[in-house]
Amino acid sequence: MRTLISGGTVLSSTGAHQADVLVDGETIAAVTAPGVFGADVKGTVDSVLDATGKYVMPGGIDAHTHMEMPFGGAFSHDTFATGTTAAAWGGTTTIIDFAVQKKGTSLLSTLDTWHGKADGNCAIDYGFHMIVSDVNDTSLKEMETCIDGGVTSFKMFMAYPGVFYSTDGEILRAMHKARETGSTIMMHAENGIAIDELAAQAVAEGRTDPVQHGLTRPPELEGEATSRAIALAKVTGSPLYIVHLSAAQALAEVAQARDTGQNVFAETCPQYLYLSIEDMAKPGFEGAKYVASPPLRDKSHQADLWRGLRTNDLSVVSTDHCPFCFKDQKELGRADFRAIPNGMPGVEHRMDLLHQGVVAGEISLARWVEACSTTPARMFGLYPRKGVIAPGSDADVVIYDPAARQTLSAETHHMNVDYSAYEGFELTGRVETVLSRGSIVVSADGFTGSTGHGRFLSRDLCQYLN
Ligand code: URP
Ligand code: ZN
Ligand code: ZN
Ligand code: ZN
């Protein structure tokens, strides 16, 4: 299969230029000045896609998703099949999902289980991070085998005591191993011990509605945990990647560490850029739709997060896609907000929502591509196979119409969840065509991919450090 994408504006992390792109099989064969390919080449391709007036960009890489994740007494409602299909609709061609170690089980059996869930079921390529919730001699040793198997990053939790929580000592031990192996520790930085106490007090006082989830997880406790994680990383010499950063206090800690030359990186998510604690305060249990951790913050944090994206103190945007249905899953916490499964849907809308940042003048086109594709590729060892339109790279390509209009709604989205966190949002720009390794998977004809197409990506170490 050979495809010529002609007349478009090719985007990269450094800018935009007019170019034609020739795709041969699964990879990009050439990127040339417009019109260089004449009738001779056009005669040899199977199809020509006219991208006049459109962006031609590397497919999105969502480095933080949770498909069919067991959590809070429920399973996140997208399977690898439905979630990766929804991702493709939104111009994301790679996800990195989390294998979840349960206390008392091994990392290697966990990884086997997650391969079993995903293999043969994904519409786009996928990799795994490993959630480490049981730090002991065996699991520390198994980190090495995970790395050999292409799982080069490990998420730990300072939140959720009794579930995923690790003590500072356990974090220190895992960071030593990360330092030794060149792998990356990803941190859920919220002070879970203090939060659980605040939540228990709220319930004891009869405050049980969804907004209490936000009020009992104040931004100071994200700032404090972020500061502590940075200190532990400094002491051990381990690099650190803060996941789903939501609060100005946490951003300030990351910025300060980076200013002093420490290898600290952070991601934020669209929900923290566009939604707020006011959504969690909606009446009639509606707020449960927005319960995730860290929680949505006061609107005043949003300007700081956009600034962080411009200054690269926030270098990645991922979704933390973890959808639970409003009707039969969020319902679990109607009497007590602590039982609301934590997480929100979003894998389909990240590229479009961040494009609004371009439209509004918050970030440049190059920064959009960098934060949503190129940097996650480099951060998690996938570059230049992914994250760039260049000869030899996988032909994961999105043709994006920057002028199209769309309205987000649960009626029309493809995620397997019964509500949209962005219901009624009117957006400028939309995905027109998506290629995954050279195959057209989304176009005007709809979804034309297949859920067996996606392949497991064995990842290298972080390419900013190794
Ligand atoms: O509420 C959230 N974020 N759910 C997913 C698990 C996590 O902590 O990332
Ligand atoms: Zn987390
Ligand atoms: Zn997450
Ligand atoms: Zn259901």
pLDDT at 39: 87
Ligand 1 pocket mutation, candidates 293, 318, 337, 417, criterion most atoms within 8 A of CB: 293
Across the chain, mean pLDDT equals 98
For residue 431, the cross-strand partners are 400
pLDDT at 66: 98
Q: Is 292's C-beta closer than 6 angstroms to any atom of ligand 1? A: yes
Chain centroid to CA 442: 20
Kindly report the protein residue whose alpha carbon is nearest to atom 5 of ligand 1: 343
Encode 166-178: b = buried (16+ Cβ within 10 Å), e = exposed. Answer: beeebbbbbbebb
Residue whose C-alpha is closest to residue 400's, from 409, 389, 410? 389
pLDDT at 341: 97
pLDDT at 72: 85
For residues 117-134, give the mean pLDDT.
Answer: 98
Does residue 45 sit in helix, strand or coil?
A: coil
Relative to the alpha carbon of 78, which ligand is closest? 4
Q: Which two tokens stand for residue 150?
A: 């292409």
Residue whose C-alpha is closest to residue 355's, from 266, 289, 429? 429
Percent of the chain topping pLDDT 70: 100
Q: Is 322's C-beta closer than 6 angstroms to any atom of ligand 1? A: yes
Q: Sheet containing 240-242: give its strands across.
A: 60-65, 92-100, 125-131, 153-157, 184-188, 240-242, 264-268, 316-317
Categorize the per-residue pLDDT at 332 as very low, low, confident or very high, splitting at 50, 70 and 90: very high
* DSSP letters for 308-348: HHHHTSS-EE---B----TTTTGGGGSS-GGGSPP-B--TT
Percent of the chain topping pLDDT 90: 98
Categorize the per-residue pLDDT at 266 as very low, low, confident or very high, splitting at 50, 70 and 90: very high
Q: Is 49's C-beta closer than 6 angstroms to any atom of ligand 1? A: no
The rounded Å distance from CA 195 to ligand 4 centre is: 29
Kindly report the protein residue whose alpha carbon is nearest to atom 4 of ligand 1: 343
pLDDT at 209: 98
Kindly report the protein residue whose alpha carbon is nearest to atom 2 of ligand 1: 343
Ligand 1 pocket mutation, candidates 62, 66, 217, 347, criterion most atoms within 8 A of CB: 66
Q: Tens digits of per-residue pLDDT, 181-203? A: 999 999 999 999 999 999 999 99
* DSSP letters for 337-396: GGGSPP-B--TTTHHHHHHHHHHTTSS-HHHHHIIIIIHHHHHTT-TTTSSS--TTSB--
Q: How many Å apart are CA 144 and CA 97, to the nearest integer?
A: 19
Question: Is the distance from CB of 12 to CB of 58 less than 8 angstroms?
Answer: yes
Q: Is 269's C-beta closer than 6 angstroms to any atom of ligand 1? A: no
For residues 139-146, give the mean pLDDT.
Answer: 98
Q: How many Å apart are CA 233 and CA 4, to the nearest integer?
A: 47
Domains recognised in the chain with CATH numbers? 59-379 (3.20.20.140)
Relative to the alpha carbon of 65, which ligand is closest? 3
* DSSP letters for 108-172: HHHHHHHHHHHTTT-SSEEEEEEE----SHHHHHHHHHHHHTT--EEEEESSSTTTTB--HHHHH
Q: How many Å apart are CA 223 and CA 267, to the nearest integer?
A: 15
Q: Is 188's C-beta closer than 6 angstroms to any atom of ligand 1? A: yes
Predicted confidence (pLDDT) at residue 38 exceeds the cutoff of 90: no
Categorize the per-residue pLDDT at 70 as very low, low, confident or very high, splitting at 50, 70 and 90: very high
Relative to the alpha carbon of 344, which ligand is closest? 1
pLDDT at 312: 98
At residue 316's C-alpha, the angle toward residues 311 and 322, to 5°, is 140
pLDDT at 327: 97
H-assigned helices in 260-291: 270-274, 277-280
- The DSSP 8-state label assigned to residue 274 in this structure reads H
Q: Is 343's C-beta closer than 6 angstroms to any atom of ligand 1? A: yes
Kindly report the protein residue whose alpha carbon is nearest to atom 9 of ligand 1: 320
Residue whose C-alpha is closest to residue 185's, from 205, 155, 213, 211? 155
For residues 269-288, give the mean pLDDT.
Answer: 98
pLDDT at 17: 98
Q: How many Å apart are CA 32 and CA 21, to the nearest integer?
A: 7
pLDDT at 217: 98
Q: Is 271's C-beta closer than 6 angstroms to any atom of ligand 1? A: no
Relative to the alpha carbon of 417, which ligand is closest? 4
Q: How many Å apart are CA 400 and CA 411, to the nearest integer?
A: 22
Q: Is 293's C-beta closer than 6 angstroms to any atom of ligand 1? A: yes
Q: Tens digits of per-residue pLDDT, 217-244? A: 999 999 999 999 999 999 999 999 999 9
Q: How many Å apart are CA 322 and CA 241, to the nearest integer?
A: 19
Task: State the pTM of this model.
Answer: 0.98
Predicted confidence (pLDDT) at residue 4 exceeds the cutoff of 90: yes
> How far apart, in Å, are the Cα atoms of 362 and each of 61, 251, 306, 308, 359?
21, 17, 6, 11, 8
pLDDT at 390: 98
The rounded Å distance from CA 230 to ligand 2 centre is: 16
Ligand 1 pocket mutation, candidates 68, 96, 342, criterion most atoms within 8 A of CB: 342
Q: Is 192's C-beta closer than 6 angstroms to any atom of ligand 1? A: no
For β-strands 446-447 and 439-443, DSSP reports them as: antiparallel
Q: How many Å apart are CA 459 and CA 466, to the nearest integer?
A: 13
> How far apart, in Å, are the Cα atoms of 250 and each of 84, 283, 323?
30, 29, 25
pLDDT at 254: 99
Q: What ipTM goes with this model?
A: 0.96
Q: How many Å apart are CA 404 and CA 401, to the nearest integer?
A: 6
Predicted confidence (pLDDT) at residue 466 exceeds the cutoff of 90: no
Q: How many Å apart are CA 465 and CA 258, to the nearest integer?
A: 14
Sorted by sequence, the CB contacts under 8 Å of residue 169 that are 6+ apart come out as: none
Kindly report the protein residue whose alpha carbon is nearest to atom 8 of ligand 1: 293
Q: Is 66's C-beta closer than 6 angstroms to any atom of ligand 1? A: yes
Kindly report the protein residue whose alpha carbon is nearest to atom 3 of ligand 1: 293
